[in-house]
């Protein structure tokens, strides 16, 4: 019988797609690095996709706690490099990208879950429009 993998178990319980479960922490990290590349190039999609990509970073934070020490050690420098690079490509958003209610419900803060409280300095056209709709004051 194969040993249980706590990372894959967690991802499965969260309802992640099977390819995400199979990829585990390494797959999430690889995707996060691609997201950073997309942000650097001018994120080509809209807010729904961007939020999904930020949720990927949240999954990384969660599964890091469950990963084997060797897996965490291997992931740490790559994650630090990707996060540092992204921090240079984003600015503080006026609030949580998911909204104040979601931030309160999940206990998200700009210090711990900074990815939910920033937006790209140079978003693509669709993301720029979507962010404007989310953060513009009501008429």
* Angle, alpha carbons 113-35-96 (nearest 5°): 30
pTM (2 d.p.):
0.91
CB-based contacts of 97: which residues, under 8 Å, 6+ apart?
47, 50, 51, 54, 116, 117, 119, 134
68-113 confidence digits (pLDDT tens): 999 999 999 999 999 999 999 999 999 999 999 999 999 999 999 9
- Number of independent structural domains in the chain: 1
Phi, psi of 112 (to 5 degrees): -90, -45
pLDDT at 136: 76
Q: How far apart are CA 116 and CA 12, in angstroms?
A: 23
Q: pLDDT band at residue 139, thresholds of 50, 70 and 90?
A: low
Q: pLDDT band at residue 135, thresholds of 50, 70 and 90?
A: confident
Q: How far apart are CA 118 and CA 95, in angstroms?
A: 8
9-47 confidence digits (pLDDT tens): 999 999 999 999 999 999 999 999 999 999 999 999 999
47 located within any domain:
yes
Q: How far apart are CA 65 and CA 68, in angstroms?
A: 9
66 located within any domain:
yes
1 located within any domain:
no
102-131 confidence digits (pLDDT tens): 999 999 999 999 999 999 999 999 999 999
125 located within any domain:
yes
Q: pLDDT band at residue 2, thresholds of 50, 70 and 90?
A: low
Strand partners, 91: 119
Q: Which domain holds residue 66?
A: 6-134
112 located within any domain:
yes
139 located within any domain:
no
Are 109 and 98 contacting, i.e. CB atoms less than 8 angstroms apart? no
């Amino acid at each position: 019988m194969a040993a249980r993998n706590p990372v894959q178990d967690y991802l499965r319980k969260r309802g992640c797609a099977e390819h995400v479960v199979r990829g585990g922490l390494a797959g999430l990290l690889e995707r996060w690095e691609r997201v950073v590349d997309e942000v650097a190039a001018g994120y080509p999609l809209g807010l729904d996709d961007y939020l999904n990509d930020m949720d990927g970073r949240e999954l990384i934070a969660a599964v890091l706690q469950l990963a084997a020490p060797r897996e965490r050690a291997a992931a740490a420098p790559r994650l630090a490099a990707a996060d540092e690079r992204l921090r240079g490509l984003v600015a503080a958003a006026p609030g949580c990208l998911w909204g104040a209610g979601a931030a309160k419900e999940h206990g998200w803060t700009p210090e711990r879950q900074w990815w939910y409280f920033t937006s790209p300095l140079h978003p693509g056209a669709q993301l720029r429009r979507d962010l404007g709709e989310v953060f513009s004051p009501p008429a």
